[in-house]
Amino acid sequence: MKHVLLIVVALGALSTGCVGAESDKPPIVGIRNMYNQPRYDTQEKKPFFADHRSMRPEIEGTVSREMEASLTWATGRAADDSYMLEVPPNLIAMNGGTEAFLDRGKDRYNIYCSPCHSYSGNGKGMVSRRADQLGAAGLVAPTLHDDRLRHIPDGQIFATVTNGVRNMPSYAHNLPMADRWAVVLYVRALQLSQAPQAAATTETEPTR
């Protein structure tokens, strides 16, 4: 008799389903209080604090670890909101000096920019050529050697890579802040290399 009872219980247990089987019933949990813990949800209103906000405001002066230490370095803009004219020299120094930083920029540029702008920066990368073939003119990357782009401030190229511009996406997820500046430095080197004549004239021009 005992055995029959055991078998019945065992069958009953089996018929309630197995781990991994789909069920619309709530799971059977041994120690429930490990699952249902009292907590406040994001943005939830709760009476615990005087202002009833479950999310607490930052303590004054807090600097989040994810925040870039320098706002100008992170945005490419100076304190007066104008674009920074050049790659921050301290950042270059912190990253091993001009040659090392340029090397890094070249490496990143060749990975992240050349598919559209091409290795030389003439805008004839594979993606652009394909876009051209398909008649998607808006997706063709421009040459980086035109007069306007040779003369925009370094900070504006940085902001372009950081935020994207019109049909060009942002590269801030792929490239951390220092890498984006390194790419800017390399774009400048590319521009100089492709337009030695024009660059020489601008270099020697009296300041306007």
> Could you say which of 117, 154, 159, 191 contacts ligand HEC (CB under 6 A)?
117
To 5 degrees, how large is the angle CA 83–CA 85–CA 89? 120
Contact status: 115 vs ligand HEC (CB under 6 A)? yes
Residues 143-162 binding ligand HEC (CB under 6 A) are 144, 149, 157, 160-161
> Could you say which of 165, 176, 193, 202 contacts ligand HEC (CB under 6 A)?
165
Contact region with ligand HEC (CB under 6 A), list: 7-15, 52-60, 84-92, 166-174: 166-174
For residue 94 the two structure tokens come to 């912190």
Class of residue 78 by CB neighbours under 10 A (exposed 0-12, middle 13-18, buried 19+):
middle
Of 53 and 150, the one with the shorter C-beta distance to ligand HEC is: 150
User: For residues 187 and 156, what is the distance between their CA atoms, to the nearest angstrom?
Assistant: 12
Of 54 and 153, the one with the shorter C-beta distance to ligand HEC is: 153
Of 54 and 172, the one with the shorter C-beta distance to ligand HEC is: 172
Closest CA to 102 of 184, 167, 13: 184
Binding site for ligand HEC (CB under 6 A): 112-113, 115-117, 127, 139, 141-142, 144, 149, 157, 160-161, 165-168, 171, 183, 187
